[in-house]
């Protein structure tokens, strides 16, 4: 993992088309802004993990249903 220090109103650029800017710092919270192309999904990690789990469960149900149809 790359660790960088940034101050308020400073940015970093990822892959020439994603810019992450530090908007505000208050105590242990950092407010960031992300500019990226619309086709690049951006999720908070806890939301992303929930989506992955829901997709995994859907695949298990769909896989079981497909197996039942084959038998």
Report the pLDDT value the prediction gives residue 57, as an integer from 0 to 100.
82
| Collapsed DSSP state (helix, strand, coil) of residue 67 | helix
C-beta of residue 21 within 8 angstroms of C-beta of residue 10: yes
pLDDT at residue number 60: 74
pTM for this entry: 0.73
Helix (H, G, I), strand (E, B) or coil at 70: helix
Rg (CA), the chain: 19
pLDDT, one tens digit for every residue, the chain (71 residues): 999 999 999 999 999 999 999 999 999 999 999 999 999 999 999 999 999 999 888 777 666 666 666 66
CA atoms within 13 A on the CB side of 3: 0
11: tokens are 């940015």
């Amino acid at each position: 993992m790359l660790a960088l220090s940034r101050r308020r109103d400073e940015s970093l650029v990822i892959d020439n088309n994603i810019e992450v800017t530090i908007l505000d710092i208050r105590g242990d919270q950092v407010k960031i802004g992300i500019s990226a192309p619309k086709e690049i999904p951006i999720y908070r990690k806890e939301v992303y993990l929930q989506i992955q789990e829901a997709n995994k469960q859907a695949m298990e149900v769909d896989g079981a249903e497909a197996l039942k149809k084959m038998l």
